[in-house]
Amino acid sequence: MSEAGPVTDPFTDPRQQHRAAMMGMYVFLGSEIMLFGGLFCVAAAMRLAHAAEVVHASRALHFGIGGLNTAILLTSSLFVALGVESARKGRTKITRGWLVGAAALGLAFLATKAYEYQMEFAEGLLPIEGVHSRYTDGIQHLFMNLYLIATSLHAVHLSIGIVLLLTLSFRLACSSIELPERAIVLVTAGLYWHLVDVIWVFLYPVFYLAR
């Protein structure tokens, strides 16, 4: 099994080592799902209990920019998937290209999100201390608090993913990761990237389309 790579202590079976690596990643991803799942539950409870206020707050968000960022992240996931497939075939140079492309799209997402934050700040949408808010209703203000927390937390996770992809690309360039023997490294990194993208796919309708 090529993805298992060279066997290291304490493992003696490459298949067992591969399963252990995947299990560790699944546990980590599960913890991330629980983290964002709590935020989604709060958003769902607010939508059910205060539908009118949530709809009013959601309509002020720039759903077109959110839609553009959704397309950017979905494309980046495609690039990562293609990179992982190239890694399994031992195509190091092509793999590096896909990883760098995905990281560049991640940076494009962050730049677009920063621009959106700037617009929301100027419009008085962001619940920041000392800034005049457009909202006088407590529920609408709470919705925007939740929006800022969730999207900022997602941006932090995406930034980690960008650093991870660029680091792997650099290590491939230095031949410190041999392909296809160590393709499992890219597989686990790809799982993290896909999770970050899936989280945004849920964030977009929860906040932008709750109208």
Tell me the per-residue pLDDT of 102-115, one tens digit each, with 9 for 90 and over.
Answer: 999 999 999 999 99
Give the residue from 51, 5, 43 showing the smallest Cα distance to 207: 43
- Predicted confidence band of residue 24 (pLDDT cuts 50, 70, 90): confident
Structural domains counted in the chain: 1
pLDDT at 189 over 70: yes
| 5 located within any domain | no
**How much is the pLDDT for 3?**
47
Q: What is the mean pLDDT of the chain?
A: 90
- Strand, coil or helix: 107: helix
Contact 200, 157 (CB under 8 A): no
pLDDT at 148 over 70: yes
Residues in the chain: 211
pLDDT at 9 over 60: no
pLDDT at 7 over 90: no
pLDDT at 6 over 80: no
CATH, residue 144: 1.20.120.80
Please give the Cα distance from 80 to 90 (Å, whole number). Answer: 15
Whether the link from the prior residue into 10 is cis, omega within 30° of 0, is: yes
Tell me the per-residue pLDDT of 28-68, one tens digit each, with 9 for 90 and over.
Answer: 999 999 999 999 999 999 999 999 999 999 999 999 999 99
**How much is the pLDDT for 128?**
78
| 149 located within any domain | yes
| 3 located within any domain | no
Give the residue from 176, 169, 192 showing the smallest Cα distance to 95: 169
Give the residue from 203, 205, 187, 200 showing the smallest Cα distance to 73: 200
Query: Which two tokens mark 211?
Result: 């109208």
- Predicted confidence band of residue 5 (pLDDT cuts 50, 70, 90): low
For residue 7, what is the enclosing H or E element? none
| 204 located within any domain | yes
Q: Which percentage of the chain shows pLDDT scores above 70?
A: 91
Contact 141, 135 (CB under 8 A): yes
- Predicted confidence band of residue 21 (pLDDT cuts 50, 70, 90): confident
| 6 located within any domain | no
| 87 located within any domain | yes
Tell me the per-residue pLDDT of 81-95, one tens digit each, with 9 for 90 and over.
Answer: 999 999 999 999 999
| Domain encompassing residue 91 | 11-208
